[in-house]
């Protein structure tokens, strides 16, 4: 079969795949049972074994190769008049067809699985302002306790003695503890990598990402260390099939706060507190001013340090990259797009209605 005919067949298959996805997303129970808790478990384990031992991201290199291939095809079609635009079109759509299949087969169907609260047997509902404030007060207490247990001084910033490489290597231990409580979060062959594009990621405003083609979880190596453990556990949550960003934040919170490592616990509570206090600031600035003095000065310094880090990389391009990612999430049934990150607060409040804090 010549290459032209092959690309035309792949283009037809792209249309058929798109139609199949439109149908299968109507049946999240089937995806949950047979894909997320079935086929995907073996796919993800295999990919972590296949690529986990390699210190750099194969997925990043693959992304670069695909982009160069597409740009090269467009360039040649424009430069050389004898090349058919039609043939170039089928070549590009043929490659997209392959990527589309691998994306959904290797990971993408997790976007339409059942919500995490169904797996953990708790109901979610919108919270009142009073519930948000009451929960945040409890969270402030837990974060304060976590910070003082490490520093012995409420005005001192936590200084994590572990290197980022050591933090990455401990993610499996955190999930081992979580698995004892919730077996569905079993995480075998743990491996999280530093992104080859950490500097561009920082300018784009992102802490990490999962490559859905190779199942490689990558973390921005430049982010502040006290945020690092929670980010690593967030990306590991993606690896075990938690596609929603708010749910990956929530599972990352559970993994860090159930860990035996004090620095992991602090990172998890710090992340949760940041989300809750930001939500109060957005909805009720007066209550924010009342709650802020309750937070240990060392934690406030930590939050300011993190904010200063991200502000130092603010640039005009960040909003465009986030708009692109927002549309990507919406295209994958995450209707709130990038705003969905804040839904973690809904999960936190509803989960802790029936689950007391534990240190």
pLDDT in tens, 308-318: 998 888 866 55
pLDDT score recorded for residue 315: 66
pLDDT at 105: 93
Mean pLDDT (whole number) for 288-309: 94
More confident residue, 318 or 303: 303
Asked whether residue 64 carries a pLDDT value surpassing 90, the answer given is no
pLDDT at 321: 47
For residue 85, name the pLDDT band (cuts at 50, 70, 90): low
Q: What is the mean pLDDT of residues 336-355?
A: 77
- Mean pLDDT, residues 66-71: 77
Mean pLDDT of 110-139: 93
* Confidence class for position 72, pLDDT limits 50, 70, 90: confident
Reply yes or no on whether the pLDDT at 50 is more than 80: yes
Confidence of residue 5 (pLDDT cuts 50, 70, 90): confident
The whole-number average pLDDT for the span 99-114 is: 92
- pLDDT at res. 23: 93
Q: What pLDDT band is residue 203 in, cutting at 50, 70 and 90?
A: confident
pLDDT band at residue 241 under the 50/70/90 scheme: very high
pLDDT of residue 81 exceeding 70, the answer is: no
Q: Is this prediction's pTM over 0.95?
A: no
Average pLDDT rounded to a whole number, residues 111-130: 92
Q: Kindly indicate the confidence band of residue 260, based on its pLDDT and cuts at 50, 70 and 90.
A: very high
Q: What is the pLDDT of residue 339?
A: 56
SS (H, E, C) the chain: CCHHHHHHHHHHHHHHHHHHHHHHCCCHHHHHHHHHHHHHHHHHHHHHHHHHCCCCCHHHHHHHHHHHHHHHHHHHHHHCCCCCHHHHHHHHHHHHHHHHHHHHHHCHHHHHCCCHHHHHCCCCCCCCHHHHHHHHHHHHHHHHHHHHHHHCCCCCCCCCCCCHHHHHHCHHHHHHHHHHHCHHHCCCCCCEEECCCHHHHHHHCCCEEEECCCCEEEECCCCCHHHHHHHHHHHHHHHCCCCCHHHHHHHHHHHHHCCCCHHHHHHHHHHHHHHHHHHHHHHCHHHHHHHHHHCCHHHHHHHHHHHHHHHCCCCCCHHHHHHHHHHHHHHCCCCCHHHHHHHHHHHHHHHCCCCCCCC
pLDDT surpassing 50 at residue 46: yes
Instruction: Find the range with the poorest average confidence among 96-100, 178-182, 312-316.
Output: 312-316
Q: What is the pLDDT of residue 68?
A: 82
Q: Which of 76-90, 230-244, 293-307 has the lowest mean pLDDT?
A: 76-90
Q: Across residues 159-182, what is the average pLDDT?
A: 95
């Amino acid at each position: 079969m010549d290459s032209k005919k092959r690309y035309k067949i792949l283009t037809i298959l792209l249309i058929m795949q798109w139609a199949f996805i439109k149908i299968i997303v109507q049946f999240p129970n089937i995806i949950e049972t047979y894909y997320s808790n079935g086929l995907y478990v073996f796919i993800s384990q295999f990919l972590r074994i296949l690529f986990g031992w390699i210190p750099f991201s194969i997925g990043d290199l693959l992304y670069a190769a695909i982009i160069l291939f597409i740009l090269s095809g467009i360039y040649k079609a424009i430069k050389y008049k004898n090349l058919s635009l039609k043939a170039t079109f089928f070549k590009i759509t043929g490659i997209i067809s392959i990527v589309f299949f691998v994306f959904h087969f290797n990971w993408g169907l997790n976007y339409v699985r059942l919500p995490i609260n169904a797996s953990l047997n708790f109901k979610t509902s919108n919270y009142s302002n009073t519930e948000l404030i009451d929960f945040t007060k409890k969270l402030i207490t837990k974060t304060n306790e976590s910070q003082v247990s490490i520093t012995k001084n409420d005005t001192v910033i936590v200084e994590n003695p572990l290197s980022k490489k050591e933090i990455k290597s401990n993610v499996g231990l955190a999930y081992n503890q979580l698995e004892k409580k919730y077996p569905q979060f079993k995480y075998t062959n743990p491996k999280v990598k530093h992104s080859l594009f950490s500097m561009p990621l920082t300018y784009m405003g992102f802490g990490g990402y999962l490559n859905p083609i190779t199942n490689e979880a990558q973390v921005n190596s430049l982010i502040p260390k006290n945020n690092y453990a929670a980010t690593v556990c967030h990306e590991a949550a993606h690896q075990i099939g938690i596609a929603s960003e708010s749910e990956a934040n929530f599972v990352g919170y559970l993994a860090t706060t159930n860990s035996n490592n004090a620095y992991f616990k602090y990172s998890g509570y710090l992340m949760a507190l940041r989300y809750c206090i930001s939500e109060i600031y957005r909805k009720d600035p007066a209550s924010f001013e009342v709650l802020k003095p309750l937070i240990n000065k060392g934690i406030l310094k930590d939050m300011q340090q993190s904010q200063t880090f991200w502000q130092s990389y603010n640039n005009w391009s960040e909003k465009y990259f986030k708009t692109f990612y927002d549309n990507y999430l919406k295209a994958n049934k995450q209707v709130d797009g990038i705003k969905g990150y804040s839904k973690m607060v809904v999960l936190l409040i509803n989960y802790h209605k029936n689950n007391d804090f534990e240190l």
